[in-house]
Amino acid sequence: MNETRTTSASIPVAGPARRARWVSGRAARVLLCVSGVSFMIMLDANVVAVSLPAIARSLGSSFADIEWVVSAYILAFAACLMPMGALADRFGRRRLLLLGLALFTFASLLCGLAPGAGVLNAARALQGVGAALQLSAALAVLGHQFRGADRARAFGFWGTVIGVAVALGPLVGGAITSSVGWRWVFFVNVPIGLALLLLGSSAVEESRDPDAQRADIAGMLLFAAGLYTLIRAMIGADGAGWSSPATLRGFATAALLFGAFGIAEALQRRPMVDFGLFRRRTFVGSSIAMVGFAASAQVMLTYLPLYLQNAYGFGAAAAGLRMMPFALALFLFPRIAAALATRIPGRGVLSLGLLVTAGGNALTAWLVREHATYLAVAMGMALTGCGAGLLNGETAKVSMSVIPPERAGMASGIGATLRFTGLVTGITAFGAVLVGQTRERFATSISAIDIRLPPLHAMVSRLVAGDLSGMLAGLPPPTQRALTQIARQSYASGFSKVLACAAAIALVAALASWLLISAAETSPEPKPQTGRSS
């Protein structure tokens, strides 16, 4: 053991006194800081998702343009998470946490001041780098600070705080966008970031892996380049085609880069990624659960606000308010997951969460296809939110349960990378499904309209981006009214197919989690004895 010092916050106390003091003193401030970091990241993601149609209208952007507003951030985030976890182990988790907070706060200011789409997307990528720095370090700090039953409570609290951010995000984003404009959704991060910098600098103590080697620069560059090339090829495939030479070259290049990354790691004495972890069935199962959660539930934080605005014609504030069935369930259910985790193995919690998510997406897909009212669709949204809440904190806890504490930074980097790789892949792949199905339905429906219309691709791109007014500009009022109805029905058809695909992903992930994760390795911690032994 390299750290023998204790504080009053970490001294074991038996019985009820321990339960009352598990987050006393400095530990409480550490938990608040770590949860606050995740709160800011999740708040930013949800605020921006509600604001995407307003950004598209303001900048005259197509769907591909606003897809990059999300993807530039997530791509940089996912590409940097695992390297940053390794750097946190080597150079210190506190140091990397504070650096990430400072970078994220500065990039948020740049986003709000961006004069055009190019600068906005570059600043979003910088935000992603800062988010990767702070999140990988924050989860490692959480895993290092809390052990045993306290860790389950800490991750449950962490998941609940994320749920609060999800609940507030649509409301804050909609209200800000409708009142003072979309730029202010980025400025809101600045005071939060500054407050967390002050808290983190005073509360978090430095910790690192004593056996960490020099930084694996080759591995970092190869992994980031491989992931960037893969996602770039997927985003470009929507326009060029999935079987086009450019897309196939992108996939082949990504495969070569990932292969080179594997070789580089095999040559390292202490690699950034310990591939031996993937020989553990529980780690593989929890990794699949993370990807499934991101691609089937977390991705809806981006697509549901677009659907509510495009299919029902809600404004940003109204759409944010109507995200509440999903957001409130995501807020409440991490507490239920934490309670379940004290009674059943983590395998059961993850499998249950994924099954509930699959059911919610399937129900919502059917309701959307039948053009049901918002109140009916809200029931499906709430069910999906319940599944997401069960998964939100538990996915990270289960994966960390089989990792040595000294490699917490590496493990949290792998887990978060898998989650956000699933998210950006889901956004990109579902975007292709949404555009393709919407285009097919729209093309069939407008064939009976006897008037010269703009090019089909341009109209569908505007429609999917949420810029319905831009799509209809210059057309006669009767045609506008007819196209508005067609557009909303076409978008609902595309979104229904997206939801059906998400339900299938969640179902497959639930089965894999149940088959791979060990019940024994993820069983609840034994309760401490409070009475005298006989």
Residue 533 CB: number of other CB atoms within 10 A? 4
In the block, tokens 């074991």 appear at 12
Q: State the Cα–Cα distance between residues 207 and 137, nearest whole angstrom.
A: 10
In the block, tokens 């052990």 appear at 147
Query: Along the 534 residues of the chain, how does pLDDT read in single tens digits?
Result: 444 333 433 333 344 444 444 455 777 777 878 888 888 887 777 778 778 878 877 777 667 677 778 778 887 887 777 777 667 777 777 888 889 899 999 999 999 888 777 888 889 999 988 988 887 787 777 767 676 667 667 777 776 777 677 677 777 887 888 888 888 888 888 888 898 888 887 777 777 666 655 667 787 788 878 878 887 787 777 667 778 888 899 999 999 999 998 888 888 776 767 777 777 788 888 889 989 998 999 888 888 888 888 888 888 888 888 888 988 888 788 888 888 888 888 888 999 999 999 999 999 999 999 989 999 999 999 999 999 988 877 777 777 666 666 666 566 667 767 777 788 788 888 888 888 888 888 888 887 676 777 777 777 777 777 667 767 777 788 878 888 888 888 888 999 999 999 999 999 999 999 998 888 777 776 555 444 443
Closest CA relative to residue 380, chosen from 356, 363, 399, 394: 363
Query: Buried b / exposed e across 168-177, counting CB within 10 Å, b at 16+?
Result: bbbbbbbbbb
Tokens of residue 170, six digits: 């649509």
Residue 147 CB: number of other CB atoms within 10 A? 13
446-451 own/partner pairs: CB under 8 Å, 24+ apart: 446/483, 446/486, 449/479, 449/482, 449/483, 451/475, 451/476, 451/479
Tokens of residue 40, six digits: 């800011």
In the block, tokens 């530039």 appear at 72
> If one looks up domain 25-205+272-452+480-516 in CATH, what number appears?
1.20.1250.20
The set of residues, in sequence order, having a beta carbon less than 8 Å from that of 452 and lying 6+ positions away, is none
Tokens of residue 475, six digits: 């057309």
Whether residue 193 contacts residue 347, with contact meaning beta carbons closer than 8 Å, is answered with no
Give residue limits of the domains in the chain: 25-205+272-452+480-516, 217-271
Tell me which DSSP letter residue 5 carries. Answer: -
How far from chain centre, in Å, is Cα 173? 17
- List the Cα angle 377/379/383 in 5-degree steps: 120
Q: Residue 200: which H helix or E strand, with range?
A: helix 189-203
